[in-house]
Chains A and B, each alone.
Chain A
Amino acid sequence: MNGNHENWVAMAKTGDRGAMRELYERNRSRIFSLAYRYTGNTADAEDILQDSFIKAFASLQKCQLDENSYFASWLYRIAINCSMDHFRRRRGMGDPLALDECPEAAAVKDQVTPEGECARDEARRLVRSSLKNLPRRRRMVVVLRHYQQLKIGEIAAAMGCSEGSIKKQLFQALRQLRKELPPSLGE
């Protein structure tokens, strides 16, 4: 599996479109999931997905990918940077589309009928809103930790910083979320 993966990378380096398509299909779900969790909407996540692959393929020939440096983790780092850059670009154009306004979120909302579910939905909306208010880097650390299920060391490697820095970001995020969210949330 891994050997095949390296072959696709080598072929893609020569400009082989078939190999690029193969790399896209193998990695797209992971990248889209990260982008969607970070931005909270499909349109922005699709933009980030496309930007990440375009940047990766454009600079694939320049980078040194050997046996120890895998395309997937390299692409993941590109996607993290693209996501944070995208968020910065979007800031000047107003807030990204709120998750609750997304068609897929609306579809979930439409399914809600019991009374208790309304309070729980309100709590979820509050959590998502608080997450959106986090500074972009802190928000990325939270997304990688709680949605992408990465360990501290993996987050540090993906973001190119120390484990201590990641822990600090997580504590700051926890403090901010604890301040914004009521302690009785979810009870």
Chain B
Amino acid sequence: MKMNCKRFKDLVFIFQDGRLAEQEKAEFERHRRSCPDCAGLLGDAGRIGGWLQDAATPVPAPDWDKSWRLIAASLPPRPDRKWRFALAPHWALVASGFLLFFILGIASARLFFSPARTETPAPSDAPFLYSAQDYFAALQPVMASYANAADSLGEAPADQDRVRRLLGDLYLLKLRAAKSRDTSLQHLLGDIELVLLEIAHLDRSDPEQVRQVGAMIQEKGISMKMKVYKFEGRKPVRI
């Protein structure tokens, strides 16, 4: 920038601070030599600064302890330790509030908007059934015991309480199967339901009724279908 009187005036105090770059300093000096007004301004600034310095008296030492006593007496009492958290910056308190609100919001949403959970009754053998395959694995021995009874192999059929629990699990599995649109599974579960209902209501002391149920299982090919379903690698229907 070209040095003129306005620029010179702008740089007077920067020059006194010794903060001018070499080139700018040279231009400043050149202008000072050529302009009596600017030279006078710089001279006045230096001269008046010198007078002010000269007029200064030494700073006295006050009674520091007395001043401290007065300061200490005016300070608020030290805050109680249990209320120290109130000294946290305001933004931290606001952020904590937002975080708490966010967490409570998520918890409420999960509570009110998630699908209602049904307590799954304990299956026959395992504490929980997780898929159709698991269910079939639990059902297989029951079906086998009645099918064998039909062949008169003499094995005692499964007890009816176990069958009723399997029937409870079956209803849950049917609900999930209806959503999965797996028709073969839906048919299989329908057959199983018929068989389990028969077992649940039969008189176990009557060998004829037991044989009839066994024949029904063989006729519908339930055991075979369950094995086939197990190995077809379908996406498991979870309950």
Query: Total contacts A to B, CB within 8 angstroms?
Result: 103
CA distance A174 to B46 in the complex (A): 10
Instruction: Tell me the bound Cα distance from A178 to B41 in angstroms.
Output: 10
**Given A54-B75, A177-B48 in contact, is the A171-B57 Cβ separation under 8 Å?**
no
Q: When each residue 100-129 of chain A gets 1 if its CB lies under 8 Å from chain B and 0 otherwise, what string results?
A: 001011001000000000000001110110
**In the assembled complex, A46 has its CB within 8 A of some CB on chain B:** yes
Report B111-163 residues with CB < 8 Å from chain A CB: none
The reply to whether A178 and B87 form a contact with Cβ atoms under 8 Å apart is no
Partner of B44, one of A13, A45, A178: A178
Docked Cα-Cα span, A99 to B49, in Å, equals 19
| Bound Cα distance from A113 to B44, whole angstroms | 30
- Say whether A24 faces chain B, with CB atoms less than 8 Å apart: yes
CB within 8 Å for A21 and B68 given contacts A58-B76, A127-B54: yes
Tell whether A151 pairs with B17 under 8 Å between CB atoms, given A13-B87, A61-B87, A127-B52.
yes
Q: Which residues of B contact A25 (CB under 8 A)?
A: 64
* Residue A75 CB within 8 A of the other chain: no
Q: Which stretch of A1-9, A31-39, A78-86, A87-95 is in the interface?
A: A31-39
> Closest approach, in angstroms, between the C-beta of A120 and any C-beta of chain B?
8
How far in angstroms is the closest Cβ of chain A from B87? 5
Point out the residues of chain B lying under 8 angstroms from A61, CB to CB.
87
Within 8 A of B (CB), among A1-59: 13-17, 20-21, 24-25, 28, 32-33, 36-37, 42, 45-46, 49-50, 53-54, 57-58
Interface residues of B in 25-74 (CB under 8 A from A): 44-45, 48-60, 62-64, 67-68, 70-72, 74
Q: Are A32 and B75 in contact (CB under 8 A)?
A: no
Chain B residues within CB distance 8 Å of chain A = 9-10, 12-14, 17, 19, 44-45, 48-60, 62-64, 67-68, 70-72, 74-79, 84, 87, 89
Of the A-B pairs whose beta carbons lie under 8 Å apart in the complex, a sample of 20, sorted by A's number, is A14-B79, A14-B84, A17-B72, A28-B67, A32-B62, A33-B59, A42-B60, A49-B62, A50-B71, A64-B89, A124-B55, A127-B51, A127-B52, A142-B52, A145-B49, A147-B53, A167-B10, A167-B12, A178-B48, A186-B50
